């Protein structure tokens, strides 16, 4: 365990402890560290970009995560059917999730280019007006949400594994009793895979609060800060404005938010997550 422990203390725990100390300081990398107490947290209260980045991230999280789970679950249910070439379709659906993000962003920037992009060609073909897409403050967040659906292959694979663990005997017994397809899904499939749904929900929310690469490469936080997500603002504070103490405060607030959401989900999980061999409260 020594190599793992050395790596953990050097690259994970050590930087976390160091950043916790920086929260109460002012440091611009090339200047001496100066103790300022809680001034960084006081500055957050009057920082409009902090509030804007938090709103943008919450907007993305509360819309993107349910859509991702729904699309991934529907895809897994379709790809769980005994159809010809199902292995090929599973691979096709999964490949985008392992495509390098830089390559994916370049592709989406081309698709949503307001002058020659494929998106405007499609909307014009159905009689709708051209859009600015990523250059429109009202559309840029919905565009990012749509782009996030490109990478639901990981969630799909996990859902697929859960679906294949549902006992066929339960499905057959429900069919013999006259249950419709929706009733079988509602009362058998979903309860049986509820731990998988819960897992994907936790991971999805944690990931949605850490959106960075797509916004950094595609828009840089624009237009008019409409795509300035929280981690992008944290990065800018640390490595563009060199406000390391302020950025550390942002990082620990993000940690507290993610921890609170995770604990809240675990708190209410026993109301809808079913584990075989246990009783519901």
In a domain, 237, yes or no: yes
In a domain, 81, yes or no: yes
Mean pLDDT of 230-257: 96
Contacts of 23 (CB under 8 A, 6+ apart): 40, 41, 245, 248, 249, 252
Closest C-alpha among 120, 124, 121 to residue 134: 120
pLDDT tens column, 19-55? 999 999 999 988 899 999 999 999 999 999 999 999 9
pLDDT of residue 277: 60
By percentage, how much of the chain surpasses pLDDT 70? 98
Q: What is the pTM of this model?
A: 0.92
What is the domain extent for residue 183?
34-269
pLDDT of residue 278: 58
In a domain, 87, yes or no: yes
Contacts of 208 (CB under 8 A, 6+ apart): 57, 60, 61, 64, 65, 148
CATH number at residue 245: 1.10.3720.10
In a domain, 77, yes or no: yes
Class of residue 43 by CB neighbours under 10 A (exposed 0-12, middle 13-18, buried 19+): middle
pLDDT of residue 270: 87
Domain count, the chain: 1
In a domain, 118, yes or no: yes
DSSP annotation string for 83-125: -TTHHHHHHHHHHHHHS-HHHHHHHHHHHT-TTT-HHHHHHHH
In a domain, 22, yes or no: no
Contacts of 85 (CB under 8 A, 6+ apart): none
In a domain, 20, yes or no: no
Closest C-alpha among 55, 204, 221, 230 to residue 140: 221
In a domain, 280, yes or no: no
pLDDT of residue 192: 93
CB 149 within 8 A of CB 127: no
pLDDT tens column, 126-163? 999 999 999 999 999 999 999 999 999 999 999 999 99
């Amino acid at each position: 365990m020594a190599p793992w422990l050395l790596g953990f203390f050097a690259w994970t725990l050590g930087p976390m402890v160091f950043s916790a100390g920086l929260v109460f300081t002012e440091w611009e990398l090339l200047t001496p560290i100066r103790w300022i107490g809680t001034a960084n947290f006081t500055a957050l209260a009057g920082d409009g970009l902090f509030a804007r980045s938090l709103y943008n991230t919450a907007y993305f999280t509360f819309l993107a995560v349910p859509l991702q789970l729904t699309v991934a679950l529907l895809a897994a249910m379709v790809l769980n059917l005994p159809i010809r070439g199902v292995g090929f379709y599973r691979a096709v659906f999964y490949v985008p999730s392992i495509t390098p993000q830089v390559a994916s962003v370049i592709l989406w920037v081309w698709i949503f280019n307001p002058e020659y992009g494929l998106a405007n060609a499609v909307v014009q073909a159905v009689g709708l007006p051209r859009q600015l897409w990523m250059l429109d403050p009202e559309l840029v967040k919905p565009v990012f949400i749509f782009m996030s659906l490109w990478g639901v292959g990981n969630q799909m694979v996990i859902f697929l594994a859960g679906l294949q663990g549902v006992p066929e005997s339960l499905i057959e017994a429900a069919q013999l009793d006259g249950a419709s397809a929706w009733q079988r899904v509602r009362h058998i499939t979903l309860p049986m895979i509820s731990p998988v749904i819960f897992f994907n929900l936790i991971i999805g929310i944690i990931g949605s609060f850490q959106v960075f690469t797509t916004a950094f490469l595609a828009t840089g936080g624009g237009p008019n800060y409409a795509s300035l997500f929280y981690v992008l603002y944290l990065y800018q504070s640390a490595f563009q404005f060199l406000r390391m103490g302020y950025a550390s405060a942002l990082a620990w607030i993000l940690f507290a938010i993610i921890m609170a959401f995770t604990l809240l989900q675990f708190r209410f999980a026993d109301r809808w997550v079913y584990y075989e061999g246990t009783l519901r409260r």
